[in-house]
Amino acid sequence: MKRWGMVIDMKKCTGCQTCTLSCKVYHGLGPDVVRCRVIEQETGSFPAVERMLFSLRCMHCNEPECMKACPTGATRRRADGIVTVDQDKCMGCRYCALVCPYQARTFLGVEKRYFPENGNLWENMRYKEHQVGTVEKCDFCQKRIDEGLAKGLEPGKDPAATPMCVISCIGKALYFGDLNDPASMVSNLIRERKGFALKQELGTEPSVYYLPRKR
Amino acid sequence: MITAQRHNMFQQEWTGKGERGIRDFLLIPAIFFGAVCPGLFISSVLTDYVPGYWVALALNLIGYGVAHLLFLGRMERFWRAVINLRTSWISRGFLFNAMFSLFGLLYALSEAADLPILSGPAVNALLKLMSILSAVLFAAYPGFMISIVKAIPFWRSTLEPVLFFLQGVMGGMAIQVLLMSIIALPGAADNALIKINTILVLIVLLLFMTALVIKALHGGAEKISVTFLTTGAFSPVFIGGTIIVGLVVPLFLLIAGLFLNLDFGAYRSLYYIALLMELVGIYLGKYSILRAGAYAPLK
């Protein structure tokens, strides 16, 4: 069985937020609603200061805290490891957003549009896919993956079957693939460059790995 | 050591961003009433104060039930909350509230009306036991709900459920004494309630202090939360509101009253002020604890 995962090369990430924007445009996310973002973190003190950029999104954990916390069963983990929210079941209690150690969820409290009256066809179509009063999160562009697989494409290699943030990254810092396949590019990168996951001590077993800037 | 992180480390999901107006801020009143209503019920049952049962159940319905429903993004789906009982504390809380409402109502009916189906000592004792048990679980569940959140180290403490329960009983007793000023019954146990309440205030104050010291010693995100509450932007609310107004001053007034042997009947206003201050402190305490929930840094 496949387990989709992502690898983010911190050496290549420039913090340009193209992943954030491409995600917002593709999914038609309104103001203040993000599924993917880049945050800066500084460590140490002068002169040994290090600035790190973390491209954050849902980590699609193997042991998702959000799924355990969800009272309605709206949050589910698919067989291929993608954690999804069924917006028809979510009651908007926001417990999942609270328990997520990566702050990867956003509550859509009111309808938010950048251009409420003059939205183009794409925006109008995408806005309809979001339900006010429910929680939003990254789903690794599951529709693209599922449709791509149905067409015989390979996620991570064929752009049409790969998450938007990965194909739009200008620094080619994002990789997508099957973590269960030891020969896949993501598995090789994690192995060779000592990839790490965030907050592993919590036992969530994330499916998003980061490659350190220094070897 | 993290020196700067350019994103909000404090949770805002449960304390409100305000984009939906007042609905976003209704969780704190819901949690407040979710603590003091079972507390009032327990205190009333133990002192046979029947009006207290009804007030507790009515406040629970409006203050907890309606407020909680309005806080939800899709309140029409509230019934789905019971689906994940195995792992979700929200589901369990929903169940505890339903049990408390049902058994509390049945017990109140058995005490108030002579219904054949609810009469008999065995049925009465069973209803009393079940209503108290469900009230205890309901009062403590928000403490369990936040203490299992791995993402927010400040909340991860076994003291939380104890604090939530004791604050609930403390607030419930305060409401009962205040209620007795309106609906007095013969043989009311005002003085006994005041004495127990004083002990509870002292225990809660000590628990707060213990929890804060332990958390401050841990460092990291826990220390960030403690600093936020004690010396940071939120200290007027927490130190001023929860600790001084809600615990220290009432404790001083109550102890002074007890030591000076001031009879409840003669010095009512002194005790009423102390009890009202306790309630304000409990409310601000819930808000402060939730507001100070800081996420651990990423790496």
Per-residue model confidence as pLDDT tens digits over B152-172: 999 999 999 999 999 999 999
pLDDT digits (tens, 9 = 90+) for A86-103: 999 999 999 999 999 999
Please list every residue in chain A whose beta carbon sits closer than 8 Å to the beta carbon of residue B83: 71-73
Please tell me which residue, B180 or B268, carries the higher pLDDT value: B180
How much of chain B, in percent, has pLDDT values that exceed 90? 70
Check residue A184 and report its DSSP letter: S
User: Residue written as tokens 């064929």?
Assistant: A158
Q: Which residues from A are below 8 Å from B20, CB to CB? A: 109-110
Helical pair B121-147 and B159-180, crossing angle rounded to 10 deg: 130
Q: What is the reported pLDDT for B237? A: 95
At A182 the pLDDT is 95
Question: Is residue A123 scored above 90 in pLDDT?
Answer: no
Range A74-85 average pLDDT? 96
pLDDT classification of A122: cutoffs 50, 70, 90: confident
Q: Tell me what the mean pLDDT of segment B93-107 comes to.
A: 95
What does the alpha-carbon distance between residue B245 and residue B278 come to, in Å, rounded to a whole number? 7
- Arithmetic mean of pLDDT, B44-61: 94
Question: Cβ B88–A71 below 8 Å, yes or no?
Answer: yes
B120 contacts: CB under 8 Å, gap ≥ 6 = none
- Is A140 within 8 Å of A60 (Cβ atoms)? yes
**Would you say B269 and B226 are in contact if contact means Cβ atoms under 8 Å apart?**
no
* Torsion sign, CA atoms B176, B178, B183, B187: positive
Three-class SS of residue A140? coil
Summarize the confidence of residues B237-246 as an average pLDDT.
96
Place B188 in a pLDDT band, splitting at 50, 70 and 90: low
CB atoms within 10 A of CB B256: 13
Contact A131 B151 (CB under 8 A): no
Q: Which residue has the higher pLDDT, A98 or A43?
A: A98
Please tell me the predicted confidence (pLDDT) of residue B265: 66
Please provide the size of chain B in residues: 299
Q: Are B151 and A202 in contact (CB under 8 A)?
A: yes
Residues of A in contact with B89 (CB under 8 A): 69, 95
Q: Which tens digits make up the pLDDT trace of B73-98?
A: 999 999 999 888 888 999 999 999 99
Pull the structure tokens for residue A204: 């969530």
In angstroms, rounded to a whole number, what is the distance separating the alpha carbons of residues A172 and A11? 10
Average pLDDT, chain B: 90
User: Which of B74, B83, B295 is facing A92, going by the closest CB pair?
Assistant: B74
Asked if A88 and A135 touch (Cβ cutoff 8 Å), the reply is: no
* Side chain identity at residue A68, one-letter code: K
pLDDT over 70, % of chain B = 94
- Chain B residues in contact with A107 by the CB 8 A cut-off are 13, 73
Which pLDDT belongs to residue B267? 74
Chain A CB contacts of B17 under 8 Å are 109
Q: Cα separation of B283 and A18, whole Å?
A: 43
Scan for tokens 């604890």, then name that residue. B289
**B80/A134 touch (CB, cutoff 8 Å), yes or no:** no
- The DSSP 8-state label assigned to residue B296 in this structure reads P
Give pLDDT, residue A117: 78
What confidence score (pLDDT) does residue A163 get? 97
Residue B110 contacts residue B119 (beta carbons within 8 Å): yes
Given a contact cutoff of 8 angstroms between Cβ atoms, the answer to whether B112 and B49 are in contact is no
Q: Answer whether A52 sits within 8 Å of B299, measured CB to CB.
A: yes
Task: Please give the average per-residue pLDDT across A15-43, as a whole number.
Answer: 91
Give the pLDDT of residue B219: 80
Mean pLDDT for chain A? 93
Q: Is the pLDDT of residue A57 over 70?
A: yes
Residues A3 and A140: their CA atoms lie apart, in Å, by 12
Mean pLDDT of A46-56: 88
A to B CB pairs, distance under 8 Å? 137
Mean pLDDT computed over B243-267:
85
* Mean of pLDDT values over B223-249: 94
Cβ atoms B6, A39 nearer than 8 A? yes
Find which of B10, B84, B92, B95 to mutate to test the A interface (most A CBs within 10 Å of its CB): B84
Give residue B262's pLDDT band: very low, low, confident or very high (50, 70, 90): confident
For the segment A173-202, the average pLDDT, to the nearest whole number, is 95
Residues A65, B19: C-beta atoms closer than 8 Å = no
> What residues have CB less than 8 Å from A130, skipping those under 6 apart?
A28, A29, A30, A33, A87, A108, A136
The CA distance from B183 to B49, in Å, is 10
B232 near A CB under 8 A:
no
